[in-house]
């Protein structure tokens, strides 16, 4: 399990127990923490392979929620095309952002998943 936090107060961010990965993104501090966390590259990648994205979702404990969202019969054709055919995930993709929002993820949490995904070797 990997937890993703976003803080505006550096003291709160740094008070989390180790291990952790911290980076600064505009006016917030993003912290990845948890027992499965490995050292991750700094910054937020804008593109990851779809397989990396799916494995990051699993690492974050979100696989059941993702499967429920992806399997919902209410998915649009565009959403199904993304789910079934996208070879890469782009951070600014509207379908990705909407899907992540449906899972209750904030922008900082999406960023965290992209960082996690980029660290996964497929």
Task: Report how far apart, in Å, the C-alpha atoms of 35 and of each of 21, 38, 46, 70, 93 are.
Answer: 12, 9, 25, 27, 30
Instruction: Report the pLDDT value the prediction gives residue 87, as an integer from 0 to 100.
Output: 95
Distance CA 65, CA 7 (A): 25
Instruction: Report the pLDDT value the prediction gives residue 108, as an integer from 0 to 100.
Output: 83
**Long-range contacts of range 79-87, CB-CB < 8 Å, 24 or more positions apart?**
86/50, 87/49, 87/50
Distance CA 23, CA 42 (A): 7
Instruction: Report the pLDDT value the prediction gives residue 86, as an integer from 0 to 100.
Output: 95
Sign of the CA dihedral with 34 first, then 37, 83, and 76 last: positive
Instruction: Report the pLDDT value the prediction gives residue 64, as an integer from 0 to 100.
Output: 95
The whole-chain average pLDDT of the chain stands at 80
Which residue bears the tokens 């910054």?
43
Instruction: Report the pLDDT value the prediction gives residue 30, as an integer from 0 to 100.
Output: 59
**pLDDT < 50 stretches in the chain:** 25, 39-41
Bin 23: left if φ > 0, else alpha if -120 < ψ < 50, else beta: beta
The pTM for the full model equals 0.68
What are the sequence ranges of the domains in the chain?
Answer: 3-118
Instruction: Report the pLDDT value the prediction gives residue 40, as an integer from 0 to 100.
Output: 47
Q: What is the pLDDT of residues 5-37, one digit of tens each?
A: 666 666 665 666 655 555 554 555 556 666 555
């Amino acid at each position: 399990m990997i937890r993703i936090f976003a803080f505006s107060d550096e003291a709160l961010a740094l008070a989390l127990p180790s291990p952790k990965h911290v980076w600064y993104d505009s006016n917030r501090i993003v912290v990845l923490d948890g027992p499965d966390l490995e050292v991750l590259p700094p910054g937020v990648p804008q593109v990851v392979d779809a397989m990396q994205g799916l494995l990051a979702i699993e690492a974050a404990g979100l696989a059941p929620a993702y499967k429920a969202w992806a399997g919902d019969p209410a998915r649009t054709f565009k959403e199904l095309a993304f789910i079934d055919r996208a070879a890469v995930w782009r951070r600014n993709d509207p379908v990705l952002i909407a899907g992540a929002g449906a899972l209750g993820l904030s922008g900082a949490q999406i960023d965290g998943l992209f960082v996690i995904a980029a660290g996964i070797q497929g």
